[in-house]
Amino acid sequence: MILVTGGAGFIGANFVLDWLAVHDEPVINVDKLTYAGNLDNLASLQGDARHVFVQGDIGAPALINGLLNQHQPRAVVNFAAESHVDRSIHGPEDFIQTNVLGTFRLLEAVRGYWSGLDGSALDAPAKSKFRMLHVSTDEVYGSLAASEAAFTEQHRYEPNSPYSASKAASDHLVRAWHHTYGLPVLTTNCSNNYGPFHFPEKLIPLMVVQALAGKPLPVYGDGQQIRDWLYVKDHCSAIRRVLEAGTVGEVYNVGGWNEKPNLEIVHTICALLDELKPRADGASYATQIAFVNDRPGHDRRYAIDARKLERELGWKPAETFETGIRKTVHWYLDHPEWVARAQSGAYRDWLNTQYAPA
């Protein structure tokens, strides 16, 4: 059995679904169900005895201690995080509470369980095999110039937003708990994910949803910010591989080798929608593109060098950007009910105040 935190969010839910598609090993899934945690993401697991969902906070020691001692998981996979840069700019405290303090409390609960300090009785073989995998982001590394090589695991941390600073802090805590206490941890730092169940505040689902609603497609600044894009199911397969064979204490970068400017992404989505669900007036969705004021401190470029993961653990992404983005657009077209439920009144209010014309 494994314990997954944040398993009702975008990446976490995809991981749980994929895990149970390829394993019979049960999952205890803990999620606070904040605005982006969505049980709709896990609807296909209803009635599946292999999946036990618990609504709760990683920052609640009694809850996590109880689950660890009751279920005796062989691993903990931590996805729980506040994750949107724009929201972190306007409300950083939630990011500090969850990503920093929450990670600290989770580490302490896991340390107590693994070491026996909390009265747990892991036998020697179980203790030696136990792992905690912490899922992080490439944003902790800061921004790259156009001529710079992609981020490797040795790149120094230079976070530029409250979100990335909070994730950098959590990464440092995980590293420290390994080096100080011997906790058997693994860390992954991924590039920008996309795919099914992505909450429609992020670039790709936002563009799809706005386009279909006939609304402007807001593009920050000149739209030339570059990101490396990773299909979420490829990310999930990488996490499974790191959990299976990663070296304790090591960091593994996970990327898709798909550097694209944001504006190119938007045009690609518009072209796919033109093909798959044309506008009634025959015009291209690209006519809805609207440039808006840039995000404060907007990082210009991220790019992940995933060769360590490929070389040491034999992992490679299965999807190209072209295949992954087509699957993603198809998914949103096929799941309008999910989109409608994800777009709460609070979400709409936030979106309406977020973007100002350039």
pLDDT in tens, 20-53: 999 999 999 999 998 778 899 999 999 999 999 9
Is residue 163 part of the annotated active site? The answer reads: yes
Is residue 153 part of the annotated active site? The answer reads: no
* Helices assigned H by DSSP within the chain: 10-22, 61-71, 85-90, 93-95, 103-115, 124-129, 162-181, 203-212, 232-245, 262-276, 307-313, 321-334, 336-342, 345-354
What are the distances in angstroms from CA 31 to CA 7, 50, 84, 109? 6, 17, 17, 16
DSSP per position, 289-321: EEEEPPPTT---B--B--HHHHHHH----S--H
Rounded to an integer, what distance in angstroms lies between the CA atom of residue 200 and that of residue 192? 14
The ranges assigned to domains in the chain are 2-197+231-258+300-318
Instruction: Read off the pLDDT of residues 192-232 as tens digits, 9 standing for 90 and up.
Output: 999 999 988 889 999 999 999 999 999 999 999 999 999 99
What are the distances in angstroms from CA 11 to CA 147, 294, 301, 319? 30, 26, 22, 16
Q: How many residues can be counted in the chain?
A: 358
- Of residues 57, 138, 259, 299, which has the active-site annotation? 138
Is residue 40 part of the annotated active site? The answer reads: no
Residue 186, classified by CB atoms within 10 Å of its CB into exposed (0-12), middle (13-18) or buried (19+), is buried
Q: Residue 117 above 50 pLDDT?
A: yes
- Of residues 163, 194, 252, 302, which has the active-site annotation? 163
Partner residues linked to 76 by β-bridges: 3, 132
Q: Residue 84 above 90 pLDDT?
A: no
- Of residues 139, 234, 259, 319, which has the active-site annotation? 139
State the architecture of 2-197+231-258+300-318 in CATH terms: 3-Layer(aba) Sandwich (3.40)
